[in-house]
Structure 1
Amino acid sequence: MGIAAAVVVLFGVREVASIAGPVVLALVLVIAVSPIRGWLDAKSAPTWLQVAVPFLLVVLVLLGMVGILTISATQLVSLLPTYTDQFDQLLADSERWAAAHGISNDVLNKGLQAFDPGRVLGLAQSLLGSLIGILSALFLIVVLLLAMSLDAPRTSRILTAGEGSRPQLVTALAVFAHKTRRYLIVSTVFGLINAILDMVALSLLDVPLPLLWGVLALIANYIPNIGFVIGLLPPAMLALLDGGVRTMLLVIAAYIVINVVTQSFILPKFLGDAVGLSTTMTFISLIVWTFVLGPLGAILAIPLSLLTRAVLIDSDPSAKWVQALVSGRLPGGG
């Protein structure tokens, strides 16, 4: 019955994804900037300032990212048709290479159909349409942000008052907020480092629109497991059309080096066990929340899974074994 109920809830949320996605995004953003409100409260700042400063900070960041993506995507749509000749030359070179190695041209043509510039242009236009959709949803996100920011001080007092009747749930929600905030801060810092290094590498290699690909790398950094591939493929394909195979290989090599150094060696030392999800559960979370909320679900997969864990598992004292199963660690920390 629990599984059946979960399926019903997930499909119900999927039907209202256009509302549920912005609500969760607004909640996560309010949690992310809550230390600023706490610092202002400790300085005895007026309530309106405690609300206005975090709210305006988030809105400015959102508007900046949407603006950069919209302008860059528009440039990409106008740029792609200019690579038709390069694509034809690439196809001819591939056919000669295939003939020299005994590969049928029919097999090669079927493989190259996926890289038809017309299809790539259609994909870029679809991306631009999605960005316009984000702009239309931005008003809802901003209104939700304002409402949640206004309610944040009252919500904090209500949770504190509830410690007597539901201490486990209050503690679980506090841990969720702490883990989500730490995950977002660390991921954002390292995402910015990755994005800057990627933009420098792309600029040195003369790949067009490095700012767009840097922002894409920053956003993809929040997507677990496959975010690196999502951030790499578009600039690599554009590098192939613009500079040839050598430039594409250099872009791939630069991305791999940057990602391995920051994500594999440095990031774990700062993030540690903050997420509290095993590798398997992280991947399942990505699949489930992408299915439920679409692309926004992929970005919010970790916070959504942490919220689900807090409400359903961490708040239940008898669910210690489930905590160990989800986190991949024994109750004693082994």
Structure 2
Amino acid sequence: MGETGSGDGAQTPIGGLPRFLQVALGVVLVLAALMMLKNYSGIFGPIFLALNLMVTAYPLHAWLVRKGCPPALSAAVVALMVFVLLLAMVAGLIWAVNEIIGIIPQYADQFIVLYDQAISFASDMGLDRSSLTGVLSKIDPNSLLNAASSLLTASTGFLGGLSILVCTLVFIAMDTAGFAQRLSIAASTHSRIVAGFRSFSQGVRSYWIVTTVFGLIVAVLDVVALQIMGVSGVVVWGLLSFLTNYIPNIGFVVGLIPPALVALVSLGWKQAVAVIVIYCVLNFVVQTIIQPRFTGDAVGVTPTVSFISLLVWGAVLGALGTLLALPMTLLVKALVIDTDPRTKWVNALIASDPHDAEGAVRQRA
């Protein structure tokens, strides 16, 4: 096996380069790859999203083929279904944000009263009035309206990438019929890479399905709770809760802020606190306690890695990167880390279950 196969191989030069040069070269290549992805994010983002959606829907294609449907027709039906669902979700986001833009001005007077009360309370507590005024001015109704308008512009701007996404869906659908055979042939010479692709497919499929199902459950429970409390616009807040659930870590907070603010200005601070508590409890119970019991951990990485992924891929791919943060990390993990036994220690550090690293290595041995 040579010197690099020893247990201390991390200290042995590989390819004639000292270890520190290998590390430096690796860092440079990673940064270059991220910069390239950022420059072409408008192309890569829609392509990777299309790949995710078709991978997730692939079991439906396989089921239709088993039932006697011609492979080409089955692939076309699945691609069309994926496109319709995606278009419906984008339309839902645009509608929800548009409704928020219409709701905010209705509470402009209440926002002003609340603003004055906060300033007066701060002055009574001895806080600097001018400093607090500068902070609160950033969250006045006009600022909130501008933020919602910017989100609406971003969501409609996504339609510009639909042409790339649709073309990608069409061509992936054309390749779907013979994809299993291609993987089998490739596995005969590059089994670890193919195993990485299959691991990514399984992981990303579980991630999207689990996120959708339990995001829908949380959204329905949020709607019921808000309806009981008398908060207006429950359908909008429920849809926003469902859609923002696809953003890891911070999506829950994004979906919570608008209904909490509406409850604050229309019903009072006690109801606003109740909205926050209910959202937090439902999110914790459903997604932290119940979800893992039925599906296990579909994410595959630790919460810290998940949050860092959100920051990195959001910076690289923009708004679409927040949606694709975990799938991108799963792809890198499956193809770079999971396929190399020497990176077992990295897998143990970032995997949601460290024992998965040992099992993955034994399966590839």
TM value normalised by structure 2: 0.85
Which secondary structure state, in structure 2, belongs to the residue aligned with residue 300 of structure 1?
Answer: helix
1:1-334 superposed matches below 5 A: 1-327=25-351, 329-330=354-355, 331-332=357-358
Q: In structure 2, give the amino acid aligned to 1:190.
A: F
My pick for the range that moved more, 200-209 or 292-301, is: 200-209
Q: In structure 2, give the amino acid aligned to 1:201.
A: A
Q: In structure 1, give the amino acid aligned to 2:53.
A: L
My pick for the range that moved more, 40-49 or 271-280, is: 271-280
Q: Are the aligned partners of 1:190 and 1:267 in contact in 2 as well (CA < 8 Å)?
A: yes
Structure 2 distance, partners of 1:315, 1:201, is 46
How far the C-alpha of 1:99 sits from its partner, in A, is 4.0
Q: Say if 1:292 and 1:332 are closer, same or farther in 2 by CA, change over 3 A.
A: same
Larger gyration radius, structure 1 or structure 2: 2
Q: Are the aligned partners of 1:219 and 1:299 in contact in 2 as well (CA < 8 Å)?
A: no
Q: In structure 1, give the amino acid aligned to 2:154.
A: S
Report Cα offsets for 1:58-102 as digits up to 9, x if no partner: 122122222222223223223322322111111222234334433
Q: Are the aligned partners of 2:75 and 2:173 in contact in 1 as well (CA < 8 Å)?
A: yes
Task: Mark the runs of 5 or more structure 1 residues left unpaired by the alignment.
Answer: none
My pick for the range that moved more, 12-21 or 317-326, is: 317-326
Partner of 2:11 in structure 1?
A: none
TM value normalised by structure 1: 0.93
Aligned length: 333
Structure 2 distance, partners of 1:309, 1:222, is 20
Sequence identity, in percent?
39
Report Cα offsets for 1:112-164 as digits up to 9, x if no partner: 11211111111111111112102222232222112212211222221111111
Structure 1 distance, partners of 2:31, 2:162, is 29
Task: Mark the runs of 5 or more structure 2 residues left unpaired by the alignment.
Answer: 1-24, 360-365
Which secondary structure state, in structure 1, belongs to the residue aligned with residue 300 of structure 2?
Answer: coil
How far the C-alpha of 1:322 sits from its partner, in A, is 2.6
Structure 2 distance, partners of 1:205, 1:27, is 41
